[in-house]
Amino acid sequence: MAGECVQNVEPVQPGKAGWFARFLTIWVGQALSLLGSQVAGFAILWWMTTTTGSAAILATGALIDSLPRVFVGPFAGALIDRWNRRRVLIVADGIVALAAAALVYLSWAGRLQIWHLYALGFVRSVCGMFHWVAMQASTSLLVPHAQLARVQGMNQTLNAVVNIAGPPLGALLLGVLSLSGTLAIDLSTAVLAIVPLCLVGIPQPEASEVAEGAGKPSMGQDIREGLRYLWDWKGLRTIVLVAIVCNLIMVPPMVLLPLLVTAHFGGGTAELASMQAAWPLGMMVGGLILGVWGGFRRKATSMGVGMMSTCASMLLVGFAPGSAFWLAWIGILTMGILNPFVNGPLMALMQTHVRPDMQGRVMATLLSLANAMTPLGLLIAGPLADHTGTRPWFLVAGVVSLAGGLILSFSPAVQHIEDKGELDSVHRPSGGHVPL
């Protein structure tokens, strides 16, 4: 990894005064970079659409973008737990900046081709995977544990704002600037994300006694240890299994949303745009509420209530008659509001209670498992929806979310996941094995 920009920077301790200003310095830089990437993503998508008009090309691009999140995750987590996390963030942002610079040049020179977008998109996706895991694993070392749920609320709000503002801002810039000029925005914001990382220290987790006594493990041992850690923690294992099933069933309806709008509600581009805006708008509201309130005392309670409430929103969309588009819109909006109460506390829980030297592996493994189910769900839902329509999938997803919420709310292992006895049983060495 590349050297750090500033040497001997005092690391931020979660309990020290001034933690928020230091964390916010990094967070603002990352927020600007995220917005720049969203603007560039819209510009690239529009260029591909108007240049080729091919659904296959767009689908291939989406598939290439998703592959690193499935297959690179466990390796990224193991490496991040070995490497200096600030260096990982700087290098990841630096490579993204180089990729953006390459796109700016190719576009300016009139040499941009589809395969360039595929190749550079894959590189950016790999860097994004490393960056996300490193940032999440570093947050628990920068932020007091009591404030992690609120920080996750900030992150959920940021994602929503970027998803709302990115496409129209990209369209506006394309009307004023050239494609290369619009892509240069991404290059500029990537550089802006690196500067705060050079000024603010990120502490490294201390190696566990087990790791220190056993010598340096191999990469395969690191990955297996991450899986074992997740598997041996009964509460977290239950949450992961619920998340896998929910992603398998609940992602396809959202992907099939355009068909619901056109085929069932008879809507056009305006209705589709408003429906797609309802989700991030709701996430912004939900993230703000979570950021101010912090959720229930037990994070598992927030997740359970959020999942069970999502059931009503899904059913509202599924049962909405063709003449009641507004009812479905409210359902999607409510789902967006509830989403931060499921994902935010889960990330805060792992940042609080997963051993710092294991957070990269555990978070990356969770993300990979969850994303691996999405292609399978789409492969099943696509052909079936051609025969049944899209509404039944919202109804099935509503039932699944209710079942998932009940499990999270009434499973003793989940409800007591933060109790000292449960945590002690996970943090001590385990002789168990993970079924592979």
Cβ-based neighbour number of residue 320 at 10 Å: 21
Cβ contacts of 176 within 8 Å, gap of 6 or more:
none
Residue 177 burial (C-beta neighbours within 10 Å; 0-12, 13-18, 19+): middle
pLDDT per position as a tens digit, 300-356? 888 889 989 888 899 999 899 988 999 999 999 999 899 888 888 888 887 777 777
CB contact at 8 A, 247 and 372: no
CB contact at 8 A, 96 and 57: no
Cα 178 to its chain centre, rounded Å, is 30
Q: Which two structure tokens, joined as six digits, stand for 101?
A: 């610079």
Above 50 in pLDDT, residue 430?
Answer: no
Q: Which two structure tokens, joined as six digits, stand for 44?
A: 């690239």
Query: At the top level of CATH, which class does the domain 218-426 belong to?
Result: mainly alpha
Where in the chain are the domains?
A: 19-202, 218-426
Q: Which two structure tokens, joined as six digits, stand for 244?
A: 């896998």
Provide the β-strand partners of residue 201.
Answer: 11
pLDDT per position as a tens digit, 46-60? 787 677 765 556 657
Quote the CA–CA distance of 119 and 114 in Å, as a whole number.
9
pLDDT per position as a tens digit, 262-295? 778 887 756 766 777 788 888 888 888 887 887 7
Identical topology for domains 19-202 and 218-426 = yes
pLDDT per position as a tens digit, 146-189? 777 777 777 777 877 887 777 778 777 877 888 888 888 888 88
pLDDT per position as a tens digit, 181-232? 888 888 888 888 888 888 887 877 765 444 444 456 676 777 787 778 878 8
pLDDT at 216: 63
CA-CA-CA-CA torsion sign (98, 103, 105, 106): positive
Reference 42, options 133, 158, 140, 177; nearest CA is 177
First-last CA distance in the chain: 31
Query: At the top level of CATH, which class does the domain 19-202 belong to?
Result: mainly alpha
Q: What average pLDDT does the segment 99-104 reach?
A: 90
Beta strands in 215-312 (DSSP E): none
Residue where the block lists tokens 């809507």: 267
CB contact at 8 A, 159 and 35: no
